[in-house]
Amino acid sequence: EVYLLESGGGLVQPGGSLRLSCVASGFTFSSHAMGWVRQSPGKGLEWVSGITVSGPTTYYADSVRGRFTISRDNSKSTLYLQLNSLRAEDTAVYFCAKDRYGNVFDYPDFWGQGTLVSVSS
């Protein structure tokens, strides 16, 4: 059974940093593109970042480019998202997601339960 467990969320002041982790199991992590999608309180879904299988190559939404960094450690079956220079508008539940197939993160066929990031002074 596929399992994605996110951690690392919490309350942080504006300008602060956090590192989110997503531990995967139940599938061959190194063979799947991965990504992050967030959801602000009471709002819809927003794609944040994706990372390919090979390379790897990384992709970012304009709203986070230059502040967030996605990475993966295939030996640990773990996906990361480093969040720097956090703003109030980054407050959201961050979901880790697995791509169904292919090198690029485009169709997330399985999602973790999410971790809440709150940015407030």
Partner 1 sequence: DIQMTQSPSSLSASVGDRVTITCRASQGISNNLAWFQQKPGKAPKSLIYGASSLQSGVPSKFSGSGSGTDFTLTISGLQPEDLATYYCQQYNSYPLTFGGGTKVEIK
When the beta carbons of 77 and 111 are compared against partner 1, the nearer one is 111
Residues 15-74 that bind partner 1 (CB under 8 A): 37, 44-47, 50, 59, 61-62
Using the minimum distance from each CB to partner 1, give the nearer residue, 16 or 111.
Answer: 111
Tokens of 55: 């390379």
- Contact of 69 with 86, CB cutoff 8 Å: no
CB nearer partner 1, residue 44 or residue 54: 44
Kindly list the strands in the beta sheet with 3-7, ordered across the sheet, starting from the edge strand earlier in the chain: 3-7, 18-25, 78-83, 68-73
CB of residue 16 to partner 1, shortest distance in Å:
25
Q: Contacting partner 1 (CB under 8 A), which of 74, 106, 116, 118?
A: 106
Q: How far is CA 10 from CA 24, 25, 69, 83, 90, in A?
A: 21, 24, 18, 12, 12
| Binding stretches for partner 1 (CB under 8 A) | 37, 44-47, 50, 59, 61-62, 95, 100, 105-114
